[in-house]
Amino acid sequence: MSKFSDRYDPGPQVAQCGAINLGTKDLEKSLTFFRDTLGMEEVERHGNVSYLRCYQELGHHSLVLTEQDEAIVNAYSFRVKRPEDVELFQQELLRQEIEVLEVPAGTEAGRGTAIRFLLPGGEHPFELYYDITKPLAPEAMRSRLPSNSSKRRGLGVRRIDHFNIQTSPSTINQAEKWVRDTLGFKRREFAYLPDSPETVMASWMSVTPQMHDLAMVANRAEKKGQLHHVAFNMQDFSDVLTAADVLRDLDISYGVGPGKHGIGQAMYLYIHDPGSDHRVEIYAGGYLIFDPDWEAIEWTKEAFPDGMTWYGEPIDVAPGSRGRDTTGAAGLHLPQRSAKAAE
């Protein structure tokens, strides 16, 4: 007998942020940072491609590190809710005349067939997939808690949290609306550009009860396809403070923080991976949204500084500051790995 819910088709839906594939010029430095310092588990390595996950992630990986000539983002991956949703999204993308590549199963270790396309208006390489293996950690690393994939180690990042991406002010409205209309993200908080009150300056969107799984920001340098940061979640505020203390002693580019955002109400700490220079946010707290009729909150020009920093070290976005640094992305086709990585 079928379930009542099976009689109704909600259409294809995105379930969560799945993984990010970061190009790095120095894989060993990046592994020292993500695996040894942040405490991620290296699940698998093939040549100079490494697959990692946090200690509360049961899926195969949430981070792929690829040693290559350019330190760019190779892919932003999102898991969909049902196996058939991959094909349904592909059909919709083709209907919209968006070029789509099929990524065969196993192209990323542990992952099934995916589709790859460039975000309209953003040019970020997005991938959608459903199938993912859930391997057990080596016995010595395995936690006694069945909800954890491994023991807590290092600074203890527990899961991937969100992506913060940027595109040009002239295309951000298109990109942000497309993500909401086609992928089903809900706008939670937002702000308009002060000198262009109909242009989105920043939008925080989610498909889960989190305040945001994806943030989209207007890039001041008119660039598309940019990553501002990828965030990894920690259990509580004290973990972020501990991380700040530990990281100050290490050879890691220290961005800004710790502090608390008014937008989302989470504590932040921005740092840079020594191997690739991609920005990483250590993120804890924040509120959850359960209201089905949630109305997006607008931040005015006057209130916006409180949104960025409620307390703590302010985020520096002045010209020439590291706060404005972003990293670019691959196109529709993945870049070639370096000669060293190909060995």
Rounded to 5 degrees, φ, ψ at 6 are -70, -15
Quick one: pLDDT at residue 313? Answer: 83
Domain boundary assignment for the chain: 12-134+156-329
Q: What is the mean pLDDT of the chain?
A: 94
Quick one: pLDDT at residue 251? Answer: 80
Give pLDDT tens digits for 227-245: 999 999 999 999 999 999 9
Q: How far apart are CA 31 and CA 28, in angstroms?
A: 5
Give pLDDT tens digits for 16-60: 999 999 999 999 999 999 999 999 999 999 999 999 999 999 999
CB 14 within 8 A of CB 81: yes
Quick one: pLDDT at residue 169? Answer: 98
pLDDT at 266 over 70: yes
pLDDT at 341 over 50: no
Give pLDDT tens digits for 49-98: 999 999 999 999 999 999 999 999 999 999 999 999 999 999 999 999 99
Give pLDDT tens digits for 197-221: 999 999 999 999 999 999 999 999 9
Quick one: pLDDT at residue 320? Answer: 55
Give pLDDT tens digits for 114-162: 999 999 999 999 999 999 999 999 999 999 999 999 999 999 999 999 9
Quick one: pLDDT at residue 253? Answer: 85
* pLDDT range class, residue 343, cuts 50, 70, 90: very low
Nearest to 216 by CA among 244, 188, 243: 188
Classify domain 12-134+156-329 by CATH number. Answer: 3.10.180.10
CB-CB neighbours of 10 under 10 Å: 10
The tokens describing 329, both together, are 């992305």
